[in-house]
Chain A
């Protein structure tokens, strides 16, 4: 359950709109069934009052939308940022992907977002209403007479269980209380994968990646993937692919993508959230983050604007490639 109410955010947005500080507001728009919230631009108080929502299903990260919308829209855009969103925001600024002057960022605290598939697993299919209560999500379905209460801990999205930070690293204004960087268990599963034999690990990834339908949702939602033309869409790149071709191509796609976002991925978790085939893509990225931390010292992409990522920086302390090779030899 979120601590800040929808009304507080609407009031903030409406006053900034009315004062002329901003000309548009990125916010979450209500859907058909409570959980199917869509990212939208609001330009009037009436629209906000009618359709703006804030609650346990507002997972979408608006940072990437700023790349295109700051170029198109006159005036400033108000964007609401959860703590994890602020890391993407900073990373995009580091890469000069949008004009900071065109954005008014409001940080909002987040208690973690729910994953509707977990809610369905606990309460059953046929959801017609979900209410956020003190005890958890009270879910009414077509098949239950009384609402089933799903405790928040059971409904939390994977990325929120392992939330890395409740601290906002960028904002013009903060609503509510500031949180802290957290000790998360986000590398535990990576460690489990590392402990496997190469064959087991290969089988794990083959099983997961063979489900990929190459819809590109992971790439298109990713705030680190902002190339104007992705190599996979470019007919003259030599790497263009529209379909998974056997089991090799989809590995190519994912490994190329993971390398391309290495050191730039903030671990926002959007890729795994949107994958229609439930592939745990975050594990690939976290492996890179974990290795960077081990070999180059702790580094969190997006923690500050302008930081030089270890992989594009040279210091005499840098790890020798042969060390990495030896590790590879030992199955790591």
Chain B
């Protein structure tokens, strides 16, 4: 384990930024944390998490795929993907680190998504252990340890400074480049923090959220549950939950005709939208009940069914904080498939 004193942190950031673009959570003028590119003078946020998830780094909200130009009977194709530079994302929480694993299982299986893959290859994740989880956090329900996140490097922040542990080859390379700014240290301070945070995690209001009712093979049992009607009734179909969610992965591919050429791009889409996966025969989910059900069944049943039981939610709590009507996956989990536990 290596340690960087608080006084040296800016130097550490500068050293990382010398070789790669460095992104980290920064408070905006209203105090909301968002990932920003580091530059001299940037102050890292103390917030528990960013409003928008870090999935944009690998799966941006919109990205150009290719360009077409037709002339008579010939068609000219140009690959216009924006080649990502090497980058480091610093301060990713355990929940969000798991979300990359969930996205990998979608984008890196056959057929492998080369746009996503190249970003994954260029990016190094420095995670950050949580010490002040909040009431909307329920990562532990999905077996995620907020005190010991995965990632290429794991970091812990204490009053003394930052502690680092490399987990992968990429992580080791990064830490090797920072040797002059860090020193070897014991794990004592980190272990103390882990124990303290673990005690708080146990006290979280959602600590005992039950996932037993869900998982692969539960479709028949849950699909026609009468609770979906009431749960979805006030849903606006706005898609905020899907756009702030680190694991929502649906996209649309569209063509933009500039008049001279056609740019094919993809952008996030949402199963909550009425136009989602509209086909020649019409739409396969015509009511908001069906659309709403899809989002939660995907995360809680279909995804684990196809991915060795791993749930498609990481318990980050963003949809709890951001849904305009305060409807969310926790309320779904407590209601569908049985009486809401009091």
A142 touching B327, Cβ below 8 Å: no
| B216 in the interface (beta carbon within 8 A) | no
Choose, from B105-113, B162-170, B305-313, B318-326, the stretch at the interface. Answer: B318-326
Q: Which of B200, B240, B273 contacts A276 (CB 8 A)?
A: B240
B135 touching A220, Cβ below 8 Å: no
Choose, from A14-22, A36-44, A319-327, the stretch at the interface. Answer: A36-44
Q: Which of B34, B61, B133, B238 contacts A126 (CB 8 A)?
A: B133
| B132 in the interface (beta carbon within 8 A) | yes
Choose, from B94-102, B174-182, B218-226, B228-236, the stretch at the interface. Answer: B228-236
A245 touching B200, Cβ below 8 Å: no
| A247 in the interface (beta carbon within 8 A) | no
Closest-CB distance, B323 to chain A (whole angstroms): 8
Closest-CB distance, A57 to chain B (whole angstroms): 9
Count class of interface residues, chain B: 35 or more
Cβ of B34: which chain A residues have Cβ within 8 Å of it?
Answer: 211
Q: Restricting to A19-43, which residues have a CB under 8 Å from any CB of B? A: 31-33, 35-41
- Complex alpha-carbon distance, A243 and B266, angstroms: 9
| B116 in the interface (beta carbon within 8 A) | no
A221 touching B275, Cβ below 8 Å: no
| A49 in the interface (beta carbon within 8 A) | no
| B217 in the interface (beta carbon within 8 A) | no
- By secondary structure, the B interface counts as loop
Q: Which residue of the partner chain A has the closest CB to B273?
A: A233
Cβ of A191: which chain B residues have Cβ within 8 Å of it?
Answer: none
Cβ of A32: which chain B residues have Cβ within 8 Å of it?
Answer: 205-206, 320, 330-331
A31 touching B273, Cβ below 8 Å: no
| B48 in the interface (beta carbon within 8 A) | yes
Cβ of A213: which chain B residues have Cβ within 8 Å of it?
Answer: 52, 61, 243-244
- Complex alpha-carbon distance, A256 and B124, angstroms: 40
| B51 in the interface (beta carbon within 8 A) | yes
Q: Which of B233, B267, B278, B324 contacts A243 (CB 8 A)?
A: B267
- Complex alpha-carbon distance, A215 and B239, angstroms: 5
A127 touching B135, Cβ below 8 Å: yes
- Complex alpha-carbon distance, A33 and B324, angstroms: 15
- Complex alpha-carbon distance, A40 and B252, angstroms: 32
Q: B-facing mask of A114-130, CB < 8 A → 1, else 0?
A: 00000001000111100
Residues of chain B touching chain A, judged by Cβ–Cβ distance below 8 Å, are 28-32, 34, 48, 51-52, 61-62, 132-136, 200, 203-206, 230, 233-234, 236-240, 242-244, 252, 254, 256, 265, 267-269, 273-275, 278, 320, 322, 324-328, 330-331
